[in-house]
Amino acid sequence: MRIVLLGAPGSGKGTQSQRLVDRLGIPQISTGDLLRAAVANGTELGVKAKEAMDAGRLVDDDIVLGMIRERLGEPDAQPGFILDGFPRNIAQAEALDSLLEELGKPLDSVVQMDVDYGELTRRIAGRRTCSNCGRVFNLLTCPPGQAESETCPKTGGPHQLFQRPDDNEATVAERLKVYDQKTKPLIEFYRGHGILRSIDAEGDLDEVTGRLEKALGAPTDAMTSALASVAAKKTPSSGKVVAARRAAKRPPSKQAVAKKSGAKKTPAKKTAGKTAVARGASRKGAAKTGGAKKGPAKKVPAKKAARKALSKQAAAKKTAGKKAVAKGAARSKAKGRKKR
């Protein structure tokens, strides 16, 4: 899935994005994280971004778009992604549309997370971030000491929390003002695209996650568990399925082809016996005809052989008749001479 989460600063986009990462297996792409990494590394991009971020202003579009293009080209973003904090204005949204169209990966859904501005101020002021892994905690939902007791996945030690310069009440008012002017128009922009969904992002974290999943059409934990249970009862084990698929792809063996076509093998002894009989018959025929000729015997059709035999018999009778007539004539002539 290719998703954009919209909402004012402190609406919970980052927290809910992390939960979607676990459920959908696609990466969260936060422009804030990308920019803060550039600031920490002291790059030219980071220096420019730091000035704007500290003052509560948006970073220039060309800088942000370049970073987004690079991130979307990485392998883990190919199956899908969750954009958190981008786009932040109409120009960025139009540029993102062009980029995704070029990549052949248009957005599937945009979710607007609605939170009262008074609540937003409290959330932002209570927000703390791990300096190593970038995970965000909030003092309103995470009691002091709880975050530090958990293990940071990047260092293997406890989280090192700090308050970002733009996470204080002095800059919240300016950030909300910028949001109203620049980002809020995106609601109508994506509504016009027909992919906008809005949810109430206040209340218990699990309840908000459930609303978000419903808006996205993503399966809830209960639904996923139920589907897995049904699949386990109806579907053979994965090993058997894989074996069956591999067997289906193999070409049939010669034995299988012979068996299917009904071909039968003639026993060797039976074949040898027939060969011996044939040789004996051939020798007898050769003895009767003189056996002088060598080489393979020519097969003569039965009807043709019968015609030849009848022709020979007729010729023999005709010859015998002529001889008998000739003998009778000779005897009569001899008798006549004696009488004289």
Q: Which domain holds residue 307?
A: 303-340
198, β-bridge pairs: 112
* Chain segment 309-319, per-residue pLDDT in tens: 556 665 665 56
Residues 228 and 310 in one domain: no
Whether 127 is catalytic is yes
Q: How many CA atoms lie within 13 A of 45 on its CB side?
A: 16
- Which of 50, 71, 123, 127 is an active site residue? 127
Contact 9, 120 (CB under 8 A): yes
**Domain annotation covers residue 294:** no
Nearest to 128 by CA among 111, 144, 116: 144
229, 311: one domain: no
Is the same domain home to 90 and 195?
Answer: yes
List pLDDT tens digits, range 190-210.
Answer: 999 999 999 999 988 899 999
Please state the rounded mean pLDDT for residues 79-92.
Answer: 90
Give the separation between CA 265 and CA 279, rounded to whole angstroms: 22
pLDDT number for residue 25: 92
215-263 tens-digit pLDDT: 998 544 433 443 333 334 333 333 333 334 334 444 454 444 444 444 4
Do 197 and 69 lie in one domain? The reply is yes
| 28 Cβ neighbours under 8 A, 6+ residues apart | 14, 17, 18, 20, 21, 81, 82, 84
**Average pLDDT rounded to a whole number, residues 82-97:** 91
Q: Is residue 156 part of a domain?
A: no
The pTM of the full predicted model, rounded to 2 decimals, is: 0.54
Give me the catalytic one of 71, 123, 175, 211: 175
Residue 204 and residue 100 share a domain = yes
Highest-confidence segment of 81-90, 143-152, 245-254: 81-90
The number of beta carbons lying within 10 Å of the beta carbon of residue 80 is: 15
SS3 content of the chain, % helix, strand, coil (to 5): 60, 10, 30
* Domain assignment of residue 313, yes or no: yes
Active site residue 13: yes
Is pLDDT at 279 greater than 50 in this prediction? yes
Tell which residue, 88, 136, 110, has the closest CA to residue 199.
110
- Compute the distance between CA of residue 86 and CA of residue 66 in angstroms, rounded to an integer: 12
Active site residue 88: yes
164 is catalytic: yes
Domain co-membership, 225 together with 316: no
- Tell me if residue 340 is catalytic: no
Dihedral, 303, 307, 313, 314 alpha carbons, nearest 10: 150
289-304 per-position pLDDT tens digit: 444 444 444 444 555 5
Nearest to 83 by CA among 211, 237, 186, 210: 186
Q: Please check the confidence at residue 284 and state whether its pLDDT lies above 70.
A: no
Closest CA to 205 of 150, 128, 136, 157: 136
Q: Which of 88, 135, 197, 211 is catalytic?
A: 88
User: Does residue 241 lie within any of the structural domains?
Assistant: no
Residue of 164, 182, 184, 191 with catalytic role: 164
The verdict on residue 325 lying in a domain is yes
Band (171; pLDDT cuts 50, 70, 90): confident
Is pLDDT of 270 > 60?
no
Closest CA to 33 of 120, 119, 154: 154
Q: Which of 234, 251, 277 is a domain's end point?
A: 234
- Kindly report the CATH number assigned to the domain that includes residue 38: 3.40.50.300
The pLDDT score that the predictor gives to residue 173 is 83
What are the DSSP calls for 115-171, one per residue? --HHHHHHHHHTEEEETTT--EEETTTS-TTHHHHSBPTTTSSB--EE--TTSSHHH
Same domain, 196 and 339: no
| Residue where one domain finishes, among candidates 234, 268, 295 | 234
Higher pLDDT, 41 or 115: 115
